[in-house]
Structure 1
Amino acid sequence: MVQTRMRTLAPSLTEPRGHGLHLRSWDAACDADVETWLRGHLDPEFRRWNTPLTLWTDLSGARESLRARAGQAAEGRSASFRITDAESGTPLGHIGFNEINQPLKLARVGYWVLPEARGRGVATRALLLVSRWAFTELGLHRLELGHADGHDASCRVAERGGYAYEGTMRGAMWEAGRHDVFRDAHLHARLATDEEPAGSGDVR
């Protein structure tokens, strides 16, 4: 039986490269991609700060999640990338856009990094790379980044990526592992008209 490849990036769009990274489309038909996607979502640090709409915990759920993202990408509503090392191709994490709103030229960015890749500036480099891509490839004007209040590491990534802190959103995110209790979140944003952050030039 031939599996249909379901990629989380429209075929007409390029895959960003730069800062020692290659952002590749996730492929729901690729077992290695599904396993990496599952491992990232089961990581305790991820689960501490993020609560997906569906709380899946197995390969079947992970594959279905990637298929859903591929469907959203085909409709222009999202774009998801597997962060990889540009030379070795080793997977390092995920970055992508949810809720792409073309009429308003707006999208929300989210990311996570695998445990073994932390402490190397992967999230910051990926954020610089994907932000330039969104402004040039998708023609967006405003990119928003939200993270749970208290997630200081994500706050630093946002600031280094040129995302200005705009305030605290009350009760804007679910508590870890819950769909019935809310917590506050910080809102950061970057505009296409903002100055480029320092060190953002190595992007193509």
Structure 2
Amino acid sequence: MTDLSLPPQPDDLCGYGLRLRAWRADDSGDLTAMVRGSTDPEFLRWNTPLVHVTTEAEAAQAIRSRAEGWQRGDKAHFCVTEDGTVVGHVGLGLLDLRLRHARVGYWVLPEARGRGVARRALELCTRWAFEQAGLHRIDLGHALDHVASCRIAERCGYLPEGTLRDGMFEAGHQDAFRDVHLHARLATDPPPTGVASN
């Protein structure tokens, strides 16, 4: 990329039976889904959000902040839908267009788990990042013992690179840390196979 800006956010990024689109701050369904995802016990078991989203007002603010991040070129977040229903989130943070690098994260609502939604959303977002946004490297980090997230990363071609000591907060704390298993995928890596299968 030469202009150091993200392409416009697509509203029709489709593949693997999913559609990725912008979160909508004026859509009550989106707000409810974001609150549910952000307060889900399984999500909180593995993540300690820096900005807590527990109400629809906080969700609307988070959505506006992410839209502003897209304009600045340092965030690229998507609402994940399946058959028109919100099922999760995938997004790029710590995005540096000069270095062509970002870190990806995702979550899936409880009723959508076990169907490969996170894996399919991650792959769709990854391909967009490489092919449309011009990124070269995407990091993916998860708590060291988060086996499900490790499997998702590996199935999407994110190769393990090692352990970041005390690389993230302990669940529910901002004064204690735990190790992170780091994966990464390069634009030059071969694409994974079988992403759409369970």
Instruction: Output the TM-score relative to the length of structure 1.
Output: 0.89
Q: Deviations over 1:166-199 (max 9, x none)?
A: 0010011011111111111110000000001013
| Equivalence for 1:189 | 184
| Equivalence for 1:3 | none
Aligned equivalents of 2:31, 2:11: Cα separation in 1: 22
SS at match of 2:104: strand
Is 1:111–2:72 an aligned residue pair?
Answer: no
Aligned equivalents of 1:49, 1:200: Cα separation in 2: 23
Runs (5+) with no aligned partner, structure 1: 1-8
Q: Deviations over 1:127-179 (max 9, x none)?
A: 11111110011000001101111100000000000000000100110111111
Q: Deviations over 1:78-134 (max 9, x none)?
A: 11111111xx21111000100110111001000000000000011111111111110
1:32-181 mapped onto 2 (5 Å cutoff)? 32-85=29-82, 88-181=83-176
Aligned equivalents of 1:39, 1:10: Cα separation in 2: 29
Pick closer, same or farther for the CA change 1:150–1:200 going to 2, 3 Å: closer
Pick closer, same or farther for the CA change 1:95–1:173 going to 2, 3 Å: same
- CA RMSD between the two structures: 1.7
| Equivalence for 1:6 | none
SS at match of 1:131: helix
Instruction: Output the TM-score relative to the length of structure 2.
Output: 0.92
Runs (5+) with no aligned partner, structure 2: 1-5
Cα pair 2:7 2:133 within 8 Å, conserved: no
Aligned equivalents of 2:100, 2:195: Cα separation in 1: 22
Aligned equivalents of 2:9, 2:179: Cα separation in 1: 37
1:24-39 mapped onto 2 (5 Å cutoff)? 24-39=21-36
Aligned equivalents of 2:178, 2:88: Cα separation in 1: 25
| Equivalence for 1:4 | none
Q: What percent of counterpart residues are identical?
A: 54
Cα pair 2:11 2:20 within 8 Å, conserved: no
Aligned equivalents of 1:181, 1:60: Cα separation in 2: 29
Cα pair 2:39 2:53 within 8 Å, conserved: no
Aligned equivalents of 1:25, 1:56: Cα separation in 2: 17
Cα pair 1:15 1:25 within 8 Å, conserved: no
Runs (4+) of structure 1 moved beyond 6 Å? none
- Matched pairs, number: 192
SS at match of 2:80: strand
